[in-house]
Each structure stands twice: as C-alpha cells, then as structure tokens.
Amino acid sequence: MRGAVVDQKWLTCSISPGQFPTEYAVAGTQYNGTPFSLFAPEDAVRAPVGATDGPGAVRVVVVDRRDGLALVRLPAQTFENGHHVTVSETELSSEPKARAATA
C-alpha cells in the first residue's frame, strides 16, 4: 500500500482507567445507539483533563465514509465485535477536544 493516505481522526468517547497503567478503558456509541467498549493503549487516548474518567477521545483510522457516517478502525479490538465500528461523522475531529472534567 505504498503512498496510501491514512485518515486519522479522534473519536469522542468516555475514558476511564484500564486494568494496567499503560491503557485506558474506552466506551463509545455507534451511530445506531449500540454501545462498544475496549481497552486502548495510552498513546491512542486523550483522557479527560483533571480527572481519572470522563469525556475524552480515542485515535481511529477512517476506513470509509458515506451519508454522514464513518466506518472506523479502533486501536484495539472491542469486547463486542472486532476492530471496526460505524459512527456519525460529527463524532470525529482532527484534534482531540480538550474537555475539563465535570464533578
């Protein structure tokens, strides 16, 4: 795949501490309301500012786009159905959104 352009984005999701210090638990929702969850390496996650859990983002690769939806590859396999999920394009951003934690 020489010269292929990789479309990396950040997907809005919920972040909390993982089982190990080098990972986070990630929970998100697909376009149809179906939840997904996974453990992702810390370098693929933007955790909430000033808290151990809350809103954050996970780095994904966009595989396909159609009709306002995006098929994305996650940095690790979900507990429910593999490495790919379909999300609304509105949940993706070029840079992770820094959000302060809410009490």
Q: Is the pTM of this model over 0.95?
A: no
pLDDT in tens, 70-101: 999 999 999 988 999 999 999 999 987 654 44
In this structure, the number of other CB atoms found within 10 A of the CB of residue 76 comes to 14
pLDDT in tens, 17-51: 999 999 999 999 999 999 999 999 999 999 988 87
Residues 6+ apart with CB under 8 A from 15: 24, 25, 26, 45, 46, 47, 48, 53, 54, 55, 56, 57, 58
Distance between CA 11 and CA 4 in Å, rounded? 21
Instruction: Determine the Cα angle at 86 with ends 64 and 47, to 5°.
Output: 105
- 73: its two tokens: 């590859």
